[in-house]
Structure 1
Amino acid sequence: MTSPVPKVNENLNNQNDLKMPSPRIPPPTPNSEIQHNSTTTTAMQTHSRQSNSSRSNSLESSTAHLRPHTGGDVRWEAVNSVSAKGPIGLSNFRLLKRLGYGDIGSVYLVELRGTNAYFAMKIMDKASLASRNKLLRAQTEREILGLLDHPFLPTLYSYFDTDKFYCLVMEFCSGGNLHSLRQKQPNKHFTEEAARFYASEVLLALEYLHMLGIVYRDLKPENVLVRDEGHIMLSDFDLSLRCSVSPTLVKSSSTHNQTGNGGVGGILDNEYALHGCMQPSTFFPRILPSKKNRKSKSDFGLFVGGAMPELMAEPTNVRSMSFVGTHEYLAPEIIRGEGHGSAVDWWTFGIFLYELLHGTTPFKGQGNRATLYNVIGQPLRFPDSPQVSFVARDLIRGLLVKEPHKRIACKRGATEIKQHPFFEGVNWALVRSAMPPHIPEPVDFTHFAKKDTSAAVAENSHNHHHSDHHNVGGDHSQNSTTPPDYVEFEYF
């Protein structure tokens, strides 16, 4: 069984840090990722002074109406019914089971008291975050979760803090993660059909994040959770980078193929190119000029054969000097310390697809140091077995180009990947209606009924801080004991 792969921490100061000579990393430029911890600390302190005991920032009832894909969600109804009686806090929840742990917190299966509604709660220790200079990461994750409204991304139902902890209340995924699910497959790898299904949903999630100006930076099977109905949910945003993005319309490659331009997308004439930073859910109604100035379709010169212009919302100008990620998934530009942007997500997408199909990652070495040197110096190779199709290999080759500016999708983003022959036959508008390759067994919550544990309890995890195997909604065979009192709890 593949052992958990630790993250590389940008501070390089804990058990999972890189044990090799660090690359020369120049000081951050004004456009690089901002790491003002004093500002973050002040923000966190201000956030913590909202009340004396349990400060609640539960999402208001109106928030549910801003998230159309969660319409009719009984969990929103439960949260709204409880929050109508007063601020939601830790005492409103029964902690049932520890699901997983990571670099900045632990995740628990919880029940909202009096509702029969179950959630995953991420609990982060304030003192530990402050001592390890990771308050900014916790703040960034909360802010990103509050922005998301997508069927393959988490919904943040509530967040609050106590004197000791920050708490995020999210959806519980009963199917575990793709790492655990892959281990259960014959020969520990997915069929190409199953890999295409999971990759297509992850691709749509990454596309949405990039439209919001979010570079994910931590794609791996451990962070792809499986919902009750078999569709995926991308999780864990504490390594993500926020930046500005300017959505732009480009001519479709199909149109260019007809005009002899080799399928290379071109930017619309300035009169019709639309730039700006806006929410994806409200973008499309504003694509065309206003009605009074609108020209006929034929005037655009784009609709040959009925082809529509494409949306390009790739944050191509972002540059970060942070040294973060998971060793086997790190892009070459991160290891070389050259500064990186959104193209790192397409590198990790290639590693992700390779692992789904082959059961291992392509550059894995005997240790972390060897793995990183392989990423930099070794060519991409495919094993003789299992056999995968030519189009699958071709897509992976295009994604795992070591020079980020030559990597597929580095300019046009997910639009370019969707058009690759590997995804031929995928109806992108109806991906949610496709039949998943695996439907998890329903979770029987009745065996938790006799465990009347206090809401302020947690399992002692001082022996787990050496690993960073995130497993939110993960393997239910682990960590099934009732947690002791939270006062003795160590998160890291």
Structure 2
Amino acid sequence: MCDMGGLDNLIANTAYLQARKSGEGDTKEMQKRRKSLSLPKIEECKEHRESVAGDYDSICEQQPIGKKFFRDFLETVPEYLVARDFLDEVSNWELAEDNVKSSTMESIVTNFLKEGAKNYLSFMSSDLVSKCKAATAKDYENIMQLAKEETKVFFKDKPFQDFQKSPFYDKFIQWKVFEKQPVTEKYFSEFRVLGKGGFGEVCAIQVKNTGKMYACKKLDKKRLKKKSGEKMALLEKEILEKVNSPFIVTLAYAYETKTHLCLVMSLMNGGDLKYHIYNVGERGLEMKRIIFYSAQITCGILHLHSIKILYRDMKPENVLLDDNGNCRLSDLGLAVQVKEGKSITQRAGTNGYMAPEILKEEDYSYPVDWFAMGCSIYEMVAGRTPFKDYKEKVNKDEVRRRTLEDEVKFEHASFTEEAKDICRLFLAKKKEDRLGSRNEDDDPRKHSFFKTINFHRLEANLVDPPFVPDPSVVYAKDVADIADFSEVRGIEFDDKDKKFFKKFATGAVPIPWQEEIIETGLFDELNDPNRVVSGGYANGGEAKSGVCLLL
């Protein structure tokens, strides 16, 4: 007898894997669609020019398309080009391996900071010029950093003003208008369900115009209203919009359908760390993988804290691997904005990873994330959590007692001295004794556990992951094993609901959308002056002007 459930799963996985393979944009249908896209005419963008905030950091540093156009503009003025080349050289020095750093730094000082040099930075302050004249080798790093700061200040003044009057800025505005086109479900193709959350399922989707694959978290509107989850959903969405780190899942789009609110995020094909700890080979992970993942997770937590966000749900299950084996924090549903002068007391987190101050219902803040980090490193090494053995039947009260009272034991043979030490420091019962919280400059990245990690290179994605997931494997439950949601009845929407839906569905998120447009080649394609346009698709749907809906 034919197993229809198994057949459904095979068909769903095959379509999904095929879409992942063809994500480079080589399908005939997508090429046809792309030929029909066009940027709005410059004259149609004038009214939108005023709505773009003229902020140097946002346009020229953070937004990938703005950064590209600003770099191109700098090439047109010799003095500006020299300044750009200097910052590029400093960036290369920061990312260089230790054995070439000294010679690279000397070369930068000689070529840019010494009077008479061909590429001398003529805009330096008189104070810095004097320091450069008197500098010896031991001063080079200091004067280089000062020159870097002065170059950035220089760019914010006349170069940025000149850029805003140039054709390069006009082109940037065209892309900003194109970015703001409405996003609907017609923009995407949908594939198999990957999992489910409290308010709906998560499925794989693909952008029709670029081939880029994402995960779509679909929140059932009726279920949200019935469970009063609107505020929580909006908070998660707004926090995800603020995040910009390679170590945290990215929100690329927020849109609505008739029945759902949809969050489109990074698709992480490699499974979660909990799966890898318990389901692949022997329980636990190799130490080189533990150090690598812990370094990336630490960078992710530090980024959240830098923008005043407390994660509150750090655990291996919420750390996902991508195709290449890099990891990202996911599920920011429990994350909260830390407000100046306001304490947090609400109990939140997962049993076994919650810090003593949460369990005692005291005021708490950032140190709770570092406690959960300690629990997670311990679990990656030992294949069990620090306060509960693998498959041990123990109630929440006993886990609470152990967390508050028991000292952590390191019985597993894989614990190195550095691993024991970092776990002890992260798992300190008192928050003031905890690594990452002992003083203002207490940076966990400086611990000897991470002595093999070059964090500059790690953050620039220049460190090869120690493990690469198998691209032919779907690291998700079978389709038949993911339970369907029952229909919610008796819920009607009023004007207040519709206003909330509109507030939620804001379309493309600028930085991830621009990254997608560049990496999939659409940016170069639409900027080609010799390109012939055959019409315009609106949002990957019917053939219309790509921006006429907006204008």
What letter matches 2:193 in structure 1? R
Alignment partner, residue 438 of structure 1? 467
Alignment partner, residue 447 of structure 2? 420
Shift of 1:139: 1.0
Correspondence 1:343 to 2:340: no
Equivalent residue in structure 2 for 1:359, among 383, 400, 414:
383
Alpha-carbon distance between aligned partners in 2 of 1:442 and 1:228, rounded to the nearest angstrom: 7
Secondary structure (helix, strand or coil) at the match of 1:129 reads helix
Shift of 1:229: 1.2
Alpha-carbon distance between aligned partners in 2 of 1:195 and 1:413, rounded to the nearest angstrom: 26
Alignment partner, residue 479 of structure 2? 479
Correspondence 1:220 to 2:248: no
Residue 103 to residue 415, structure 1, CA distance change in 2 (3 Å): farther
Alpha-carbon distance between aligned partners in 1 of 2:214 and 2:60, rounded to the nearest angstrom: 16
Equivalent runs, 1:81-120 vs 2, <5 Å: 86-113=181-208, 115-120=210-215
Alignment partner, residue 236 of structure 1? 331
Secondary structure (helix, strand or coil) at the match of 1:200 reads helix
Residue 481 to residue 85, structure 1, CA distance change in 2 (3 Å): farther
Shift of 1:115: 4.1
Alignment partner, residue 382 of structure 1? 410
Alignment partner, residue 180 of structure 1? 275
What letter matches 2:353 in structure 1? Y
What letter matches 1:138 in structure 2? A
Contact 1:69 1:149 in 2 (8 A): no
Cα offsets for 1:205-224 (capped at 9, x unmatched): 11111000011111111111
Equivalent runs, 1:218-297 vs 2, <5 Å: 218-244=313-339
Residue 410 to residue 65, structure 1, CA distance change in 2 (3 Å): closer
Cα offsets for 1:402-442 (capped at 9, x unmatched): 11122121144785311211111211111122221211222
Residue 345 to residue 84, structure 1, CA distance change in 2 (3 Å): closer
Secondary structure (helix, strand or coil) at the match of 2:478 reads coil
Alpha-carbon distance between aligned partners in 1 of 2:282 and 2:442, rounded to the nearest angstrom: 32
Shift of 1:395: 1.0
What letter matches 2:432 in structure 1? H
Alpha-carbon distance between aligned partners in 1 of 2:472 and 2:410, rounded to the nearest angstrom: 38
Equivalent residue in structure 2 for 1:334, among 335, 338, 358:
358
Secondary structure (helix, strand or coil) at the match of 2:352 reads helix
What letter matches 2:284 in structure 1? H
Structure 2: segments with no counterpart, 5+ residues: 1-51, 53-57, 69-174, 490-551
Structure 1: segments with no counterpart, 5+ residues: 1-59, 73-79, 246-316, 445-473
Alpha-carbon distance between aligned partners in 2 of 1:105 and 1:427, rounded to the nearest angstrom: 40
Alignment partner, residue 394 of structure 1? 421
Contact 1:97 1:480 in 2 (8 A): no
Alpha-carbon distance between aligned partners in 1 of 2:446 and 2:399, rounded to the nearest angstrom: 31
Shift of 1:346: 0.5
What letter matches 1:329 in structure 2? Y
Shift of 1:90: 2.2
Alignment partner, residue 141 of structure 1? 236
Contact 2:276 2:285 in 1 (8 A): no
Shift of 1:114: 5.2
State which drifts further: 164-173 or 178-187.
Answer: 178-187
TM-score between the two structures when normalised by the length of structure 1: 0.59
Alignment partner, residue 325 of structure 1? 349
- Give me the identity figure in percent: 28
Alpha-carbon distance between aligned partners in 1 of 2:65 and 2:247, rounded to the nearest angstrom: 10
Contact 2:204 2:216 in 1 (8 A): yes
Cα offsets for 1:150-169 (capped at 9, x unmatched): 11122221101234321111
Contact 1:82 1:88 in 2 (8 A): no
Cα offsets for 1:38-68 (capped at 9, x unmatched): xxxxxxxxxxxxxxxxxxxxxx9x9998454
Residue 84 to residue 389, structure 1, CA distance change in 2 (3 Å): closer
Residue 104 to residue 217, structure 1, CA distance change in 2 (3 Å): farther
Alpha-carbon distance between aligned partners in 2 of 1:382 and 1:416, rounded to the nearest angstrom: 24
Shift of 1:124: 1.1
Contact 1:225 1:233 in 2 (8 A): yes
Contact 2:194 2:477 in 1 (8 A): no
Instruction: Pick the structure with more helix per residue.
Output: 2
Cα offsets for 1:16-54 (capped at 9, x unmatched): xxxxxxxxxxxxxxxxxxxxxxxxxxxxxxxxxxxxxxx
Alpha-carbon distance between aligned partners in 2 of 1:320 and 1:227, rounded to the nearest angstrom: 33
Alpha-carbon distance between aligned partners in 1 of 2:67 and 2:261, rounded to the nearest angstrom: 27
Alpha-carbon distance between aligned partners in 2 of 1:94 and 1:489, rounded to the nearest angstrom: 25
Alpha-carbon distance between aligned partners in 2 of 1:222 and 1:64, rounded to the nearest angstrom: 36
Residue 416 to residue 192, structure 1, CA distance change in 2 (3 Å): same
Shift of 1:183: 2.3
Residue 71 to residue 154, structure 1, CA distance change in 2 (3 Å): farther
Alpha-carbon distance between aligned partners in 1 of 2:464 and 2:418, rounded to the nearest angstrom: 22
Shift of 1:133: 3.0
Residue 404 to residue 476, structure 1, CA distance change in 2 (3 Å): same
What letter matches 1:475 in structure 2? Y
Alignment partner, residue 49 of structure 1? none
Runs of 4+ off more than 4 Å: 62-65, 67-72, 80-86, 411-415, 480-484, 486-490
Alpha-carbon distance between aligned partners in 1 of 2:64 and 2:368, rounded to the nearest angstrom: 30
Correspondence 1:208 to 2:208: no
Alpha-carbon distance between aligned partners in 2 of 1:171 and 1:400, rounded to the nearest angstrom: 31
Alpha-carbon distance between aligned partners in 2 of 1:148 and 1:241, rounded to the nearest angstrom: 13
Shift of 1:82: 12
Secondary structure (helix, strand or coil) at the match of 1:100 reads strand
Contact 2:217 2:263 in 1 (8 A): yes
TM-score between the two structures when normalised by the length of structure 2: 0.53
Cα offsets for 1:141-196 (capped at 9, x unmatched): 10111112111122221101234321111111111111112224432111221100
Secondary structure (helix, strand or coil) at the match of 2:381 reads helix
How many positions carry a matched residue from both structures? 321
Shift of 1:94: 2.8
Residue 69 to residue 329, structure 1, CA distance change in 2 (3 Å): farther
Residue 480 to residue 115, structure 1, CA distance change in 2 (3 Å): farther
Secondary structure (helix, strand or coil) at the match of 2:264 reads strand
Secondary structure (helix, strand or coil) at the match of 2:466 reads coil
Residue 85 to residue 326, structure 1, CA distance change in 2 (3 Å): closer
Contact 1:67 1:149 in 2 (8 A): no
Secondary structure (helix, strand or coil) at the match of 2:217 reads strand
What letter matches 2:369 in structure 1? D
Contact 2:277 2:285 in 1 (8 A): yes
**Alignment RMSD (CA, Å):** 3.3
What letter matches 1:433 in structure 2? L
